[in-house]
Amino acid sequence: MMTMFATASFIIILSVIVMSLATILSKKTIIDREKSSPFECGFDPKSSSRLPFSLRFFLIAVIFLIFDVEIALLLPLILILPLSNVTSWFMVGSFFLVILLVGLYHEWNQGALDWAN
């Protein structure tokens, strides 16, 4: 019991020493304005690098990722068809596709897929 406590204390002390040394040695002493500014081919940037992005594009990207993951979940259904009962396989596949279609209908009904607006 005492050896475990001594080993744990040694490891904690050694970790604190290493983290302290890393913090002390990694500090930059010279702050250069050119190094901290954004880099555009050696020229000063023309505008702010913090430009707003389209929220509609972000929403479409998230919807794409969700449906992409769901399709990746559907693909193994083909592989397990010979190993499972056809009725249960059909029920699970149909239920999953219905969930996908209801989600797509909801997004379409809410206007999230209308890119032109």
pLDDT for 14? 95
pLDDT for 39? 63
Structure tokens at 67: 């449906």
Are the beta carbons of 89 and 95 closer than 8 angstroms?
Answer: no
3-state secondary structure of 51: coil
Look up tokens 């050119």; give the residue. Answer: 34
Mean pLDDT for each consecutive 10-residue tract of the chain (117 residues)? 89 94 75 63 63 76 83 83 87 88 86 71
